[in-house]
Structure 1
Amino acid sequence: MSLLQAETELRFEGARGAPLAGTLTLPASGDKVPALLLIQGSGPTDRDGNQPPHLLTDLLKDLALLLAELGIASLRCDKRGMGAVATSLPKDPAALADFVRWEHFVEDARLALAQLAAQEGVDARRVGILGHSEGGLIALDLAASGRAQPAMLILAATTGRPIAAVLRDQLAGLGRMQGAPEAVLDALLDENDRILAGLAAGAGYPETVSPGLAGLYPPYLRHYWEGFAARDPAVLASGCACPVFVLAGSADVQVLADRDVPALAAALSGRSAAGGARHAVEVLADASHNLKAVAGPDDPGHGGPLHPGVRPALEAWLGENGWL
């Protein structure tokens, strides 16, 4: 077992020169070690995996410390315009909409991966990405594009279906929990499908959006949604050339183990059957979207340590690929 050597703040430029900042975590080792770029999920999530003050999971921080114990370095970054680089967020609405394009987050990941590979003590031949939720889709998008060649991907709680299908499930569940009449809910779901189909086609937002959906589609996120809605994770997975590990939780209510995991697994199986790189899939019993243990139906699985199955799952995958 390696001991934590150091955590260092890194500053570098992202897409179109936007400043980025992150934490480099290195294990104590006299040799060059493998490394993973950690990419957080959607929303205003910081480098540790939190959305203060209400959503505090420390998921990425916990993963970085676990990886260091296993002898793996990592880099986790604040999103563009957030955290340590919050002053770079544009105030002009048009500039802000351009700043948060989906493509810029993917390019930020490419440049962060290059920064990680260039660090002293990191084996540049063994540098990959661990993406959580939306971060996994960013990792897939980057790997499938061919603009970077990560040595592996670990997709944690990552959707295997387009966001339109995922959001339909999420909105339906939320609406029924809130007691919405089925006719009202069906109309809202159909409207959301139309909005995302238009965004995926590059048509932008419709002229009007129902109040129940307006919070999802603020003007400044138009270009972000256009990129997000146009991506199909299974298609991207089939075009990824590196080894891929899919890690999910059976109690995840955002990314569904019985719908999203099979979609990714099928895409990766087709790739392997055609002579592509290997893959593995593991669904942790009673693990939440944030890879924490869930005690019951009312437990969101936000706090506490990582699910006890995370460490052996990562150890097995990393060991099989010669990283331990």
Structure 2
Amino acid sequence: MPAEWGGRDLGFLALVRALEALGQGGAERGFLFALGAHLLGVTIPLARYLNDDQQREWVEALASGRTLAALAVTETSGGSNPVTMSTRADADGDGGYRISGEKVFITNAPDADLFLVLTSEKPDRGGFGLTAFLVPKDTPGLRVTPHRGTLGMEGAPMGTVALDDCRVPARAVVGGSGAGLRVFSTCMQWERTGILAGLLGAAERDIARATARLREKRDGRGALFEHETVALRLARMQVRLEGARLLLYRAAWEIDQGRRDLAGAATAKFAASEALVEIALDLMRVTAGEGWTDPQGLGGGLADVVGTLSASGTSDVQLAIIARTLGRGGPA
């Protein structure tokens, strides 16, 4: 974040490395995911579209964490596909808008103070008719229902956000009428690039813990780490981790250079989520019964990372974004 908004002007690459360090140091995965959703899904990219009045009202509170934000885009039909967005925003003739619709699987929803809501204002224009709004939690007609029984990620509460004829003033519009797709694309570039940085740090921590334990644990042939199949599996985990990390760093660097590279963000997200799941599975394999009895938190780690395959768009969505750029010779 810029210094005038309470930040340190360190850039995005520095931020993702800080998130990674939190994971390495022992921060809980759900917390890391929730923090990433707040910072990268809303706060930092949003600040680029706010006018002066909106910045004064929201940016410092968001940057300091006094106000928690949630990106409300996903719907039951069509997921996050902006073309099929059914949540409507209609001008009410009194200088404001009426918003009606329902958003699902919204990270931070039960605890959020502010929602960035993507709506269809002009349905006949498809994606170019989308408008984004800032909707405070106490807006009449807004109701949040927490999701119960989700797999893993206990520190990242999720919920359904229902908007029933919610009236918001014109000053709630972000970036102008019809700018919703541009706002959403920016949020997705930031979120997909960095939201899993902390979880990669946690994966590195788990690999180190498992390696140390396998060096200690012995059978008739010596330390389990000395078994070739065990050592090679650990090495494969490290390769996956380093590959995902470097793709994430590259996508973060692209953002720091001011480049719009949605395919690079999709590549980073795909690589990170796939690596996290494969690493978690391999950790369970090499630790065997100890992994299932969970003395090192490895079983919980597997439950936490499975959901990353669909967060910020499924792996197939990321591949589709990448495929559209093949042969073009430049960023998308």
Q: If the length of structure 2 is used for normalisation, what is the TM-score?
A: 0.29
Higher helix share: 2
Rg bigger for which structure? Answer: 2
- Which protein has greater RCO, CA pairs closer than 8 Å, 6+ apart? 2
